[in-house]
Amino acid sequence: MVAQEKKFSMLDFIKEICDDIGPRLGTTENEKKAGLKIKEILDKQVDKVEMEDFTCHPKGFLEFTKVAWFSGLIGLLLFLWLPLISMLLCFYAITTFVFEFLMGKEYVDFMFPKRIGTNVIGKLNPTKEAKKIVIISGHHDSAYEFPLFEKYKHKFDKLAYGVAGLLLFSAIAGLIKFILDIIYVSNLITNIILISIPIITIFVGGYVAFGLHSKNVILGANDNLSGVAVVLALAHHFSSQRLNNIELWLISFSCEECMRGSKRFVKRHFDQLKDSYTINYDMVGRGAGGLAIISAEPAYLVTHDMDLALEFQKSSKNAHMELPIEILGFGGSDAACFSRKGLKAISIFGLTPENYPDTWHELADTPEFIEEDKLDATLKVTIQFLKDLDSSL
């Protein structure tokens, strides 16, 4: 049995990582330093800690927007002379959005450099027979600043989906131009009307593709050291108050901002996890709309396990702080990689009143704005959930 130390300070952990390490873009040296610090803390509390390396192309997830834009630009240049090719290029641009972003298929990743990320996995054995694996997770990488999100807030999704819609209209315009050319009714007026659609698309698409993120990397106090802090606090709690029948996996994922660390983990451990539960934390240190259990992430075409969401909600009632079950307005979490494979998972988020993540990819995401009561609430309801589940096994 590991000896219990003094109470773990979640806020002090967040401040220490931000002050001593700083921003932690996925696969960079700073992210690796944060992973090693997390391992150092877990080593004192759990039975086993594993550092699992994986390879990925982290830039593909965001830079697909530029791939799509260049495809649309070439389509525009060819529109008057090769409208069918222009149409196909616009459709290709749409597929980058669908496969790379919505479905996480790493569709354009081969165009970008390969890097190494590292997941940190701590395991706490139960006092009796292990009847259930429960994964509690967060992520320790931080993101690029998103100036457009800071500007448009909960309307950002309309801008993003609007560009996809414009690409579709551009493809249709190319098809119409092709048909008009075949039947010899294409003229100056029709050409001007039709080409105006891809021209608008290129201007609006360029605004998004080249303005989506700056070169600044945020500190990520809320996104997502807040989640990792709760994971570590749970390790401290259950190291001295072991569960009877739950094998607890306490994980900090690398490369959540490109959705690769959890994806590699699920692929590697899938056979072990078929009857597992996953509770993922993301941005639980702030949110004017309060903490919520996320049952679906439409931006990633994912629905989480409603039975697990209801079970967690019941435990939150038992802890006298009932959490609502909500659908995430935009963005997503590592839980998506579990649910895509049919594993039972949910995420816990701190939301705005519009059900958006709070201070998402903003430079304002610093320790000064962390709300300790939300960290404490996340910790308390999770302890209650694990105790309730353990007693039912």
- b/e burial code for range 141-177 (CB count within 10 A of at least 16 → b): bbbbbbbbbeeeeeebbebbeebbebbbebbebbbbb
* Distance of alpha carbon 170 from alpha carbon 60, whole angstroms: 24
CA torsion angle 150 152 154 157 (round to 10): -110
Query: 292 with 351: CB under 8 angstroms?
Result: yes
CA torsion angle 266 301 363 107 (round to 10): 70
> What pTM value is reported for the model?
0.95
Quote the distance between the C-alpha of residue 103 and its chain's center.
12
* Among candidate residues 317, 350, 345, 344, the one with its CA nearest the CA of residue 331: 350
Q: How many angstroms separate the Cα of 185 from the Cα of each of 43, 63, 192, 308, 349? A: 74, 39, 14, 60, 56
Q: What is the 3-state secondary structure (H, E, C) of the chain?
A: CCCCCCCCCHHHHHHHHHHHCCCCECCCHHHHHHHHHHHHHHHCCCCEEEEEEEEECCCHHHHHHHHHHHHHHHHHHHCCCCHHHHHHHHHHHHHHHHHHHHCCCCCCHHHCCCEEEEEEEEEECCCCCCCEEEEEEEECCECECCHHHHHHHHHHHHHHHHHHHHHHHHHHHHHHHHHHHHCCCCCHHHHHHHHHHHHHHHHHHHHHHHHCCCCCECCCHHHHHHHHHHHHHHHHHHHHCCCCCEEEEEEEECCHHHCCHHHHHHHHHHHHHCCCEEEEEECCCCCCCEEEEEEEEHHHCEECCHHHHHHHHHHHHHCCCCCCEEECCCCCCCHHHHHCCCCEEEEEEEECCCCCECCCCCCCCCHHHCCHHHHHHHHHHHHHHHHHHHHHC
pLDDT truncated to tens, each residue of the chain (393 aa)?
Answer: 344 456 899 999 999 999 999 999 999 999 999 999 999 999 999 999 999 999 999 999 999 999 999 999 999 999 999 999 999 999 999 999 999 999 999 999 999 999 999 999 999 999 999 999 999 999 999 999 999 999 999 999 999 999 999 999 999 999 999 999 999 999 999 999 999 999 999 999 999 999 999 999 999 999 999 999 999 999 999 999 999 999 999 999 999 999 999 999 999 999 999 999 999 999 999 999 999 999 999 999 999 999 999 999 999 999 999 999 999 999 999 999 999 999 999 999 999 999 999 889 999 999 999 999 999 999 999 999 999 999 999
Query: 111 with 67: CB under 8 angstroms?
Result: yes
Which amino acid appears at position 49 of this protein? V
Q: Which two tokens stand for residue 155?
A: 């309307």
